[in-house]
Amino acid sequence: MARVVIEHLDKTFFGPKNRETPALRDLSLSVEDKELLVLVGPSGCGKTTLLRTIAGLEEPTRGAISIDGQMINRVPAKDRDVAMVFQNYALYPHMTVFENLAFGLRLRKFAKPEIEARVGEAAALLGLKPCLDRLPEALSGGERQRVALGRALVRKPKVFLLDEPLSNLDAALRAQVRVELARLHARLEVTMIYVTHDQVEAMTLGHRIAVLNEGRIQQVAAPLELYRRPAHLFVAGFIGSPPMNFLRGELRARDGACLFAIRADNPAAGKDTLLIRLPSRFKTALQQAERREVVLGVRPEDIDVQSITSAAAARSDGATAIQAAVEVVEPRGPETYLFLDAGSQVLTARVPPDFAGRAGQSVAVSLNWEKAHLFDADTGTALHRA
């Protein structure tokens, strides 16, 4: 068993004149045995600090860290039975691949036959047998990354900690090594905590994803759960590429229905740009936030774009539509992104590759309200839906 439990963890760095810089704030998290949990978030959110604190390279200001029920706060890094793979590989340039893989085992006084057996096993697993006699300078980026992984692998630790291990690779190689990592975890069935700022890596590798911002966990969930039901405005905007579209307005009740009022370009005119009837499932949200500012979120793939030849933006099927102008068209091969100017709103839509759009074109934009999300504009928390 290798279950990692973090409870109410704080980490504060002290600068000149004892100035405090909080890196982690009351962070609690459980990583289950054999799970691959991904920590994702923007630069400076505390991902690497959390990993280094688990590894024993940083001392927590407050809180507890335990592995298999044993608190490790006071346990030296070398005795925690965790292995960390760094962003910059950290290979010894004067040592061969075999020597790099064996170095940690030799420091721990392993017998020579055991070292050779472990190195051979890791090299076979990672496809490094043809490289064992080479120096790091003779390796490709992907091979160096595999050596860094192998150096952790030969130790057979309880927990693997990986700090943005693919960030130095080019796009094609990242995709290749990402697949290799997923296969490796499936074969080893070990506990891994993986740090990245790349949401593609997070969505494809993680059994669960923990989204961090400013040292706090915003949500922990399975990848598709994060994508489909974000619990916070930050999560909704961070997970997904292109990110979710946000429209600011307020909720109103009328004749038993829930209406979303989009703010006008000129509030002094006293008129709303548009009143949109929301599905009945948003009635619970109406009870929470009637006449308060809210943020409505819609994914780019949940926007339908139709060409129009006049200023009217009403569809023949009676659905509410918003008039917009195409600003930029980005063909991506299997899909096309449209960046739209809808007056007070800026929208991004994902449309089929054969959509005949051009910059400056007027279009009618209809949103899939059944897949929309509502967030409190002040707190960022998702409003409950029936």
Same domain? For 107 and 187 the reply is yes
Fill in the amino acid letter for 180.
E
Same domain? For 180 and 202 the reply is yes
What is the C-alpha separation between 296 and 252, in angstroms, rounded?
13
What is the C-alpha separation between 34 and 287, in angstroms, rounded?
42
> Cβ of 342: how many Cβ atoms within 10 Å?
19
381 occurs within a structural domain: no
Same domain? For 73 and 195 the reply is yes
Same domain? For 232 and 256 the reply is no
Q: pTM for the complete prediction?
A: 0.86
Fill in the amino acid letter for 220.
V
> Cβ of 124: how many Cβ atoms within 10 Å?
10
Question: What pLDDT sits at residue 38?
Answer: 97
109 occurs within a structural domain: yes
Same domain? For 321 and 174 the reply is no
What is the C-alpha separation between 284 and 277, in angstroms, rounded?
14
Tokens for 178, please give them: 């990402």
> Cβ of 31: how many Cβ atoms within 10 Å?
24
Burial of residue 239 (number of CB atoms within 10 Å: 0-12, 13-18, 19+): buried
What is the C-alpha separation between 345 and 341, in angstroms, rounded?
6
Question: What pLDDT sits at residue 227?
Answer: 94
Q: Which of 238, 263, 289 is the last residue of a domain?
A: 238
Question: What pLDDT sits at residue 263?
Answer: 64
Question: What pLDDT sits at residue 327?
Answer: 93
Question: What pLDDT sits at residue 115?
Answer: 94
Nearest CA to 348 out of 215, 276, 247, 258 is that of 247
Q: Which of 199, 216, 238 is the last residue of a domain?
A: 238
Same domain? For 232 and 289 the reply is no
| Tens-digit pLDDT string for the chain (386 aa) | 689 999 999 999 988 888 889 999 999 999 999 999 999 999 999 999 999 999 999 999 999 999 999 999 999 998 999 999 888 888 999 999 999 999 999 998 999 999 999 999 889 888 899 999 999 999 988 888 889 889 988 988 999 999 988 887 778 878 888 888 888 888 888 999 999 988 889 999 999 999 999 999 999 999 999 999 999 999 999 999 889 999 888 888 887 778 888 765 544 444 545 778 887 778 777 777 777 889 999 999 999 998 775 444 444 444 467 888 999 999 998 999 999 998 777 899 999 988 888 888 889 888 888 888 999 898 999 986 55
Q: HSE of 28 in the Cβ direction (CA atoms, 13 Å)?
A: 3
> Cβ of 21: how many Cβ atoms within 10 Å?
10
Question: What pLDDT sits at residue 100?
Answer: 94
Residues 6+ apart with CB under 8 A from 167: 87, 196, 197, 198
Same domain? For 51 and 122 the reply is yes
Same domain? For 229 and 250 the reply is no
Question: What pLDDT sits at residue 254?
Answer: 81
Same domain? For 63 and 205 the reply is yes
Which residues does residue 381 pair with via DSSP β-bridges, in sequence order? Answer: 232
217 occurs within a structural domain: yes
| Total domains in the fold of the chain | 2
DSSP-derived secondary structure letter, 90: -
- Strand order of the β-sheet with 70-71 is 20-31, 4-14, 62-67, 70-71
* Residue found by looking up tokens 């399975």 in the block: 222
Q: Nearest 5°: CA angle at 234, between 230 and 236?
A: 35
Residues 8 and 64 sit within 8 Å (Cβ to Cβ): yes
Q: What is the CATH number of the domain that holds 11?
A: 3.40.50.300
Same domain? For 255 and 220 the reply is no
> Cβ of 371: how many Cβ atoms within 10 Å?
13
What is the C-alpha separation between 340 and 329, in angstroms, rounded?
9
Domain that holds residue 346: 245-376
Same domain? For 197 and 137 the reply is yes
272 occurs within a structural domain: yes
DSSP-derived secondary structure letter, 353: T
Question: What pLDDT sits at residue 385?
Answer: 59
Q: What is the DSSP string of 178-193?
A: HHHHHHHHHHH--EEE
384 occurs within a structural domain: no
382 occurs within a structural domain: no
58 occurs within a structural domain: yes
Q: Which of 177, 207, 238 is the last residue of a domain?
A: 238
Residues 6+ apart with CB under 8 A from 4: 29, 30, 31, 54, 65, 66, 67, 159, 191, 193
Same domain? For 231 and 265 the reply is no
Q: Is 326 helix (H, G, I), strand (E, B) or coil?
A: strand
Tokens for 256, please give them: 């038993």
Q: Is 239 helix (H, G, I), strand (E, B) or coil?
A: coil
Q: Is 136 helix (H, G, I), strand (E, B) or coil?
A: helix
257 occurs within a structural domain: yes
Q: What is the CATH number of the domain that holds 284?
A: 2.40.50.140
Residues 6+ apart with CB under 8 A from 144: 89, 91, 136
